[in-house]
Amino acid sequence: MFPQKAKALRCFLSGVLFVILAGCASSDIVLRPNYQSEGKVAGKSGVVMLAGKVEDNLAGSRVQWVLGEVRESGGKIKGNVVSEVSPSVLVRNSLQQELLRAGYTVPVSEQLPQNADRGLVLDKIMVKQDELYSLVKSESDCQISFSVEVWKKGEKVNTLSFEARSSDFTVRDREKLHTEVMQKALSSAFSRAMPALIEALDK
- Comparing CA positions, the residue from 41, 24, 27 lying closest to residue 202 is 41
Q: Is 107 helix (H, G, I), strand (E, B) or coil?
A: coil
pLDDT at 98 over 70: yes
Roughly what angle, to the nearest 10 degrees, separates helices 87-101 and 174-202? Answer: 60
pLDDT at 60 over 80: no
What pLDDT sits at residue 35?
94
Helix, strand, coil % (nearest 5) of the chain? 35, 35, 30
Q: Is 182 helix (H, G, I), strand (E, B) or coil?
A: helix
- CA–CA distance, 129 with 110 (Å, rounded to integer): 26
Question: Checking DSSP bridges between strand 49-51 and strand 65-72, what pairing results, if any?
Answer: unpaired
Mean pLDDT of 99-103: 95
User: pTM (2 decimals)?
Assistant: 0.82
Q: How confident is the model at residue 4 (pLDDT cuts 50, 70, 90)?
A: low
Mean pLDDT of 152-166: 95
- CA–CA distance, 60 with 33 (Å, rounded to integer): 18
Domains of the chain listed by start with CATH number? 29-202 (3.40.50)
Q: How far is CA 54 from CA 7, 50, 122, 139, in A?
A: 58, 12, 9, 29
- Comparing CA positions, the residue from 104, 189, 107, 202 lying closest to residue 148 is 189
